[in-house]
Amino acid sequence: MRILIIEDERKTAAFLNKGLSESGFVVDTEENGEQGLLLALSKGYDLIILDVMLPGRDGWSILSTLRQSGNQVPVLFLTARDAVQDRVKGLELGADDYLIKPFAFSELLARVRLLLRRAPARQSETLQIADLEIAFARQKATRGGNRLDLTAKEFSLLSLLVRRTGEVLSRILIAEQVWDINFDSDTNVIDVAIRRLRSKVDDPFEKKLIHTVRGVGYVLEDR
């Protein structure tokens, strides 16, 4: 089992590295967020322990980029602040768990083991809703067996909707997760992107999967 620790506090990183290595894990550590993201994307880790405040690129951005690229590796967030909004943001971005610093190693180890036990079910390579199928790692989407010709952004948007099937996603959440920026809520960028996506995913088919929830956002589901 390989674990990547992205943490710029050397003491914390060394402490985690030692404890996890002694517990039988193969551990890599990285201090810089940008380098950490590259490592996470290029090597197959079973779990990532991720700090929020990092040089190069912060933990939020690392997590959202991983999830956008279809990488479903379990992520345990380390957060220094016991702020509810931090935890909510981490979980919304796709973190699997979080731990508030300072923490006891025994608690971290228990959570790591729990996440690893849960992981196989979550790391499914493909998801299917009705006759729509998404192969995340291969960035491939098909409907009724026919490949959908999607741009990278359209694929990210569809992946988000599919991962959160049945959940109404606000425009702001979609903007943050797919574009990694904050749009003013009155912008129609998201609506335009959804319209383009629908023209490929829904328009040619009788059964519609992407639904508008007036005044709230969008949901993908098999109704």
Q: What is the contact surface with Ca ion in residues (CB under 5 A)?
A: 8, 51, 53
Handedness of CA 141, 183, 73, 39 (dihedral sign): positive
Work out how close the CB of 70 gets to Ca ion at its nearest, in angstroms, rounded to a whole number.
Answer: 27
Nearer to Ca ion, 35 or 123 (CB): 35
Tokens of 172: 């702001």
Q: Which residue is nearest to Ca ion (CB)?
A: 53
Nearer to Ca ion, 53 or 189 (CB): 53
> Is residue 109 within 8 Å of residue 23, measured between CB atoms?
yes
Tokens of 204: 């040619």
Work out how close the CB of 18 gets to Ca ion at its nearest, in angstroms, rounded to a whole number.
Answer: 18
Work out how close the CB of 26 gets to Ca ion at its nearest, in angstroms, rounded to a whole number.
Answer: 23
Nearer to Ca ion, 57 or 113 (CB): 57
Nearer to Ca ion, 56 or 126 (CB): 56
Nearer to Ca ion, 5 or 219 (CB): 5
Work out how close the CB of 177 gets to Ca ion at its nearest, in angstroms, rounded to a whole number.
Answer: 23
Work out how close the CB of 53 gets to Ca ion at its nearest, in angstroms, rounded to a whole number.
Answer: 4
> Is residue 102 within 8 Å of residue 51, measured between CB atoms?
no
> How many Å apart are CA 4 and CA 96, to the nearest integer?
15
Tokens of 163: 């991962």
Helix, strand or coil, per DSSP, at residue 206: coil
Return phi, psi of residue 127, to 5°: -130, 145
Work out how close the CB of 37 gets to Ca ion at its nearest, in angstroms, rounded to a whole number.
Answer: 15
> Measured between alpha carbons, how far is residue 89 from residues 11, 96, 174 in Å?
26, 12, 13
Cα 77-108-13 angle, rounded to 5 deg: 70
Nearer to Ca ion, 59 or 70 (CB): 59
